[in-house]
Amino acid sequence: MITAWSYVAGLLQGDAQRLKVHLRVPNPAKGAPDPLNAVEMSRFKHDEDPQTYRGLGTRSALKDRQRMAQVFLARSKDAGATLDKKLLNKAVSQVVGVKALQKGYTT
Amino acid sequence: MTFRDFLGHAQKFLDEAESLPEGLAETALMRYYCASLVFSWIALEAFVNDMMGDFAALPVGLFSLHERAFLEEKAVEFVVKGPDLGQFSLSGRREFHRVDEKIMFLIAKFGKGTTIDKGSTWWQKFEASKDKRNKIVHPRKDEPVDIAAQDARDALDVACEVIRVISRSVWGKEADL
């Protein structure tokens, strides 16, 4: 979580507006008591994940760091964005999609 | 719910049918078989739609207009007014595609050279199970719905097999069922 957050902070140094959003604590998602929405993150599982996957932000493997970095990047695009299920789904979909493309595709 | 939940429901209805007392009327058993078969197909569709969604979430411009329209299940329209006049663009109108077309697209586009052999065992089983599903979801009075335990088992096997084939082809690894 922290490595992904700090990586994105570095990445956004050239974009003051998005960096400002990134450095600000987001409002909690609807129904969530905390800004990071820990419950939704812990419930998260993509179809690609093994059944034993414990959710977003719980491990520091490459896959998890990539996903969290994309979550923070997605959030930084919109000052009003919250870390809700929709944002988490989209961010992880983007990571999975890019990784599949990286392995090859037909033009 | 995820595709795994739907597969679980399909299995549960099959198990329940098998645990019912013997001698029960065929129509009573068929309720369970139909439910199981439909849940198997829902699982497959959920998996395919989610995978389409992964690619649809990528930035605009990575795919051609027609590919983008297919991924988002939206129609392509010819623009006759506004700044994009005279060009094709994505319309707000939904245009749904059959699950077999989506499977063909995913494997052709992201399968890294793998192709679908329509004569292969898995595709033949897929087609046979699809016919059974269509009889349930599009019933007609002159085509009796006659679903047996084997049809429900076949549908579950087909859903699992097709999910394995697609995940292997696109992700390079099998989905954990």
B48 contact residues in A (CB cutoff 8 A): none
Q: How far is B154 from chain A (nearest CA, A)?
A: 22
Residues B73-93 pLDDT 10s: 999 999 999 999 999 999 999
Looking up tokens 């097999």 gives B161
Q: Which residue has the higher pLDDT, A31 or B51?
A: B51
pLDDT of residue A53: 93
pLDDT at B25 over 80: no
The domains of chain B are located at: 3-57+98-171
| DSSP single-letter state for residue B75 | E
Of A90, A94, A100, which is closest to B110 when you measure between CB atoms? A100
The residue range of the domain holding A69 is: 2-102
Tokens at A13, concatenated = 């140094």
Q: Report yes or no: B14 and B59 within 8 Å, Cβ to Cβ.
A: no
CA dist A86 and B151 (Å) reads 36
Is a pLDDT exceeding 80 seen at residue B23?
A: no
A26 CB burial (10 A radius; 0-12, 13-18, 19+) = buried
Note whether B2 contacts A: Cβ–Cβ < 8 A.
yes
Residue B17 neighbours by CB under 8 Å, 6+ apart = B29, B32, B33, B36, B149, B152
Contacts of A105 in chain B (CB under 8 A): 109-110, 112
CA distance A12 to A34: 24
pLDDT of residue B162: 97
Predicted pLDDT of residue A103 = 85
Q: B89 in helix, strand or coil?
A: strand
pTM of this structure:
0.92
Is the Cβ pair A47, B51 closer than 8 Å?
Answer: yes
Residue A9 lies in a domain: yes
Tell me if A107 is assigned to some domain: no
Q: Is residue B174 over pLDDT 90?
A: yes
Q: Using an 8 Å Cβ cutoff, are A41 and A28 in contact?
A: no
ipTM, interface predicted TM-score of the complex: 0.90
Q: Is A51 a member of any domain?
A: yes
What total number of domains does chain A contain? Answer: 1
